[in-house]
């Protein structure tokens, strides 16, 4: 029995595999010195999306559970996790 894909995974794969990654920005939960903020990851920096992680051109491996928002280039939120 396979696992059910989450909504964030579906959005990330849709963006990455459609070739439209440069049209989106992924915002992740980021902590610095115990302070939490949203860190933008431009879609063009996304190298791969697989096995529960986003792989970036800068060498980061970001787990899907850290994704809080996905916005298009107009700034419209297309995905938000509460």
Q: Which long-range contacts (CB under 8 A, 24 or more apart) does 34-41 make?
A: 38/68, 38/69
Q: List the beta strands (DSSP E) in 1-82.
A: 24-32, 35-42, 46-50, 53-56, 61-63, 67-72, 77-80
pLDDT at 2 over 80: no
- Which pTM was predicted? 0.85
Q: Are 29 and 17 in contact (CB under 8 A)?
A: no
pLDDT band at 14 (very low <50, low <70, confident <90, very high): confident
| Rounded CA separation 74/82 (Å) | 21
């Amino acid at each position: 029995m396979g696992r059910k894909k989450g909504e964030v995974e579906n959005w990330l794969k849709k963006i990455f595999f459609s070739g439209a990654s440069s049209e989106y920005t992924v915002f992740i939960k980021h902590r610095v010195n115990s302070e939490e903020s949203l860190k933008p990851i431009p879609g063009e920096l996304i190298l791969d999306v697989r096995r529960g992680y986003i792989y970036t051109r800068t060498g980061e491996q970001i787990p899907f559970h850290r994704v809080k928002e996905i916005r298009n280039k107009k700034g419209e939120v297309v995905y938000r996790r509460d």
